[in-house]
Amino acid sequence: MSETTKFVASPEAKSKAKQLRIFAFIAWLFAMAGQVYAIFNLISDDTLVWLIVAILVILALAITGSTLWKRANKLDPASEKEPTKFFIQNQLGAIMGVLAFLPLVIMIFTNKNVSGKTKGIAGSIAAIAMVAAGITGADFDPPSVEKYTEEIKKQNEEARSLNINTDQVYWSKAGNKYHAYDDCQYIKGKTLSSGSIKQSWEDKGISELCKVCAKKASKKAVPADVKELMEVEN
């Protein structure tokens, strides 16, 4: 992979990712605070219902944090060349999801002041919530600088095969595809950004060519002598 085509997150993407990570940590912080409160105030036979409610709230906060964290990783991924950082950054959601429940699960099952029924109900729900938070937080197909770089390479190869100028494509602020032509029906009249396919990915995470533009480009890419032969046959 050449350095000239290596994916680099744009300043805007990095800023958005930083914001999402801050919100993720806030959600996880509230989840941890909820766990501490539940451990010291809700593990009893009399507060079983409220303990279950607390577990569900903690689960919602843990999942929210993990979702925001994974969105941030897509905007600003880690490199596979740094294995430790790559693993921690992409699996932090799973780690935090488990930590949001593990002490609580242990305290419920080891508490001598609650009945077996309370342990069975609350402990089972907390354990299931811990597994759910861990699985939801895990990223089984994590993004990486290398994956994005390879995808950009594929996009450039596809565009070149259609004789599309890979250094001059267009995209709109709300769009999720790049366009080969600024007069495409899907972006006509909209405020556009332009640049290379690589820039469209770094700016917006766009990884797909507009189908209308692809069809138009494929027609233009047909050699003149082939077009004439096709017209004769028709």
**C-alpha distance from residue 167 to each of 84, 143, 195, 200 (Å):** 35, 24, 6, 10
Q: What is the pLDDT of residues 178-187, one digit of tens each?
A: 999 999 999 8
pLDDT value at position 92?
97
Count of structural domains, the chain: 2
Name the domain boundary from 75, 106, 137.
137
The domain boundary, picked from 137, 170, 203, lies at 137
Copy the structure tokens of residue 177: 């595809």
CA 165 to chain centre: 29
Residue 3: inside a domain: no
Is the pLDDT assigned to residue 70 strictly greater than 90? yes
Residues 18 and 47 grouped into a single domain: yes
Q: What is the mean pLDDT of residues 94-122?
A: 96
- Are 81 and 183 within one domain? no
26: Cα separation from own chain's centroid? 18
Q: Is residue 173 part of a domain?
A: yes
- Full residue range of the structural domain in which residue 20 is found: 11-137
Q: Are both 66 and 163 inside the same structural domain?
A: no
What's the whole-model pTM score?
0.80
133 and 17: one domain? yes
Q: Please check whether residue 100 is in contact with residue 127, taking contact to mean a CB–CB distance below 8 angstroms.
A: no
In a domain, 1, yes or no: no
- Mark whether 72 and 153 lie in a shared domain: no
* Percent of the chain scoring above 70 in pLDDT: 92
Q: Which of 116, 137, 158 is the last residue of a domain?
A: 137
- Which regions of the chain does DSSP assign to beta strands (E)? 169-172, 192-195
CB 66 within 8 A of CB 137: yes
Tell me the mean pLDDT in the region 181-206. Answer: 86
Residues 120 and 166 in one domain: no
